[in-house]
Structure formats: C-alpha cells, structure tokens
Structure 1
Amino acid sequence: MTRDQPPARKPPRRVTAQYLENAALHYLQRFASSSASLRRVLMRKVDRSAQAHGTDPAEGARWVEDLIARYLRSGLLNDTAYAEMRAASLHRRGTSTRAIREKLSAKGIGRDEADRALETLDEEVEGDLNLTAALALARRRRLGPYRLPEKRAEFRDKDLAALGRAGFAYDIARRVVDAEDPDSVE
C-alpha cells in the first residue's frame, strides 16, 4: 500500500437472520430507538450485503420485518415509550414543541404518538411547555436574562432571533428575552 492509495475497505458481512438479530440487539444496547430507526439501520445492512454478495434484499426485508414485529410484541421496542423519552429529553434541552414534533417525525414516530408524548410531557411539566423550553434554551445559550446585564441591550435582537430560529413564537421569545431575571417570566 502506498501513500496515494486509501486503505481498502472491508466488504460487508453476508446478512443472515441471526446476523440481523445480533446487529439489532447490539444497536438497541447502545441506542434508544424507534422501530422505524431500527428498520432503517437493518435495511442499510441488507442493502450493503445485497450489493456486495448478491443476496436477496426481499428476503432480508422479511427478516427485518419479522424481527421488528417480534421486538414490538416482546416490548424490546416501544415507540410510545421512545417518543415520551425523546420528547422529554428534547424539552429539557430547550426544544420547542414544533421542533419536537418534527424530530419525532424524522425518527418515524407518527403524528398521533407524537401528540400523545407531548400531552404526557405537558402533564409532567409545570407551566407552558414552550415557555419552559425557551427558558431552558436561554439558560443553555446564555440568552436574555442569563446574559451579562451590560450586554443585554446590545444583544436583544440577536437573542430574539436565536429563539425564533429555535421554533419559538415571537411572544414567548420576547417574554424570555425581556425578563429581568428567569423567575420573573410569567
């Protein structure tokens, strides 16, 4: 091997039902996942194997669907619990409800399940979801009442824009940025 040539890439393993099960279990040990995300990961392995070894992608897809159905029945995969956990995590980081819905949708969570997850979160959180999330984002990014007092007026518009880009309504962004201290936000 010379310097001009990149190292040769190892060919993917031939996909079998047992290989997919091992890969799925390993993936689920490392990451919380929705059934759609796990399906995407496993189908990528099936497609790579089909290209490299000429295996039947339809057979691999059947194995993946059987595996996911079995994991859903056994409770190893639970889209509702995943949606609730992910929504709570995103809310703590300061993500707006609109952005939470979009991120859950990108992970393959349906609109109804996303709405249920947000309803559950709303029951657990005191106050308005978007307001508490905006305060969390302001704290994390040091915006509005978390900024040094002498710099607040100078950065007011930038702070409003940052909250707007994060998906918060102008009214909520204005209430957070113009608050004297975080506790004074109604």
Structure 2
Amino acid sequence: MKPPSVASSGPETPKPPPRPVSAAWLERAALDYLQRYSASTEMLRRTLSRRVEKRARARGEEPAAFVEMIEATVARALSAGLVDDARFAEGRLAALRRRGTSRRGAGFKLAAKGVPREVVAAVMEAEREASPEEDSEEKAAWAYAKRRRLGPFRQPDRRADYRERDLGSLARQGFPYGLARRIIEADEEPA
C-alpha cells in the first residue's frame, strides 16, 4: 500500500521560459503545420505569426522582431513547393462545391483563407470551363438542399409551411432566386 502523498509547503519552482525563436524552430513549426493541413501562403504566414507571438510574449520579447524570419520561412516553403495557392484553391473549391457552397460563397471563403483574388478568379474560371456554370451551381444547390433537408427533402406535409424559409436559406448561401425556386418547388432530386 502506498503512503499518502504529502503536499509540499514550499513555493513551486517557476517554469523555465521557452527556447528562443530561431529559423530552425520556425521551419519545424511550418513543416509540422503543413503535414497536418493543406494551407495557402497566407494561412501559413498567419499560423507562424501566432506561434511566434505566443513564444515571444512568453519570453518577454517583441514579436515584430521576427517578421523577416517568418517571411523567409514562408518563402522557403513556397520555393520547395510545400505551399501552392492555386493547388490549395482548386482542392478547397472542389470540396466547398461538393458540400453545396455557391460560387459566390466559395469565392468569399477562399478569400478569407488568404488566397489572392487573381488565383480565386483563375480557379473559378477553370471550374466554369470544366462544367457549365448552371450545371455546377445547380449541383451545389442540390447538395446544400439535401444536406439541410430543404424543399423536396422535407417531410411532404411540412414543405408548404417552410417554402419561404427554404428559399431564404438558399438565397443567403448566394444561390440565384430562380435556381432556388426550381429546387424548392421540385418533387425530387434529378437523377
């Protein structure tokens, strides 16, 4: 049987400050982040900035002193091909469209992730060329309606009561009114 633990009455030893920010530490942090997540250049920059800020504040240093080191790490990740905004935007756009995000909503979400406007435009144009705009927008609207159980995916006896709410939901997601109305008034999803 173990003896009862005795609480020490003395002061706790202070935790030592974290190691200083270095180029090697930043590179390891970037690689660790990029192994777990697909990221845009700006997302990597923001993540590294947050980590540097946390570590610098714990050491009592000014985070602004490490901006150049962060930029150098991001530049190395770009030159090594670990970060590619176009590749990130293509993958993210495809995932958003499968989930039922409108073209407009997808553009806003990509911009929020720090993807440059011209890259977003190029990726959207490539998607538009790959499939007609109405076709991809309609597929996304159907996916959203199915995921949220709107229109034809509601219980038949409640559809009329929720018609306006369902139209509003599709409109808030950025889908055109005509498309939203076609989906909400449809009897079933097209094959």
Report the TM-score when normalising by structure 2.
0.84
> Paired residue for 1:172, among 166, 171, 179?
179
1:90 partnered with 2:128: no
Aligned residue identity for 2:157: E
CA distance in 2, matches of 1:9, 1:147: 57
* Structure 1 ranges of 4+ moved more than 4 A: 8-13
* Structure exhibiting the larger radius of gyration computed from Cα positions: 2
Match of 1:139 in 2: 146
Query: Aligned-pair RMSD on alpha carbons?
Result: 2.3
Structure 1 vs Structure 2: percent identity of aligned residues? 44
Deviates more, 1:124-133 or 1:159-168: 124-133
Aligned residue identity for 2:33: Y
CA distance in 2, matches of 1:41, 1:22: 13
Deviates more, 1:107-116 or 1:42-51: 42-51
Report the TM-score when normalising by structure 1.
0.86
**How many aligned positions are there?**
178
> Paired residue for 1:62, among 68, 86, 98?
68
Residues 144 and 152, structure 1, Cα contact 8 Å, conserved in 2: yes
- In structure 1, the gaps of 5 or more residues are 2-7
> Paired residue for 1:30, among 33, 36, 49?
36
Which SS does the other structure have where 2:186 is aligned?
coil
Which SS does the other structure have where 2:190 is aligned?
helix
TM-fit CA distance, 1:12: 5.4
Match of 1:78 in 2: 84
Match of 1:4 in 2: none
TM-fit CA distance, 1:50: 2.5
CA distance in 1, matches of 2:139, 2:175: 11
Residues 15 and 45, structure 1, Cα contact 8 Å, conserved in 2: no
Aligned residue identity for 2:152: P
Q: 1:180 and 1:127, CA in 2 relative to 1: closer, same or farther beyond 3 A?
A: farther
CA distance in 2, matches of 1:173, 1:148: 18
Match of 1:161 in 2: 168
- In structure 2, the gaps of 5 or more residues are 1-6, 8-13
CA distance in 2, matches of 1:50, 1:88: 38
Q: 1:89 and 1:10, CA in 2 relative to 1: closer, same or farther beyond 3 A?
A: farther
Partner deviation per Cα, 1:27-54 (whole Å, 9 max, x = no partner): 1111110010010010112222222214
Which SS does the other structure have where 2:79 is aligned?
helix
Deviates more, 1:74-83 or 1:12-21: 12-21
Which SS does the other structure have where 1:116 is aligned?
helix
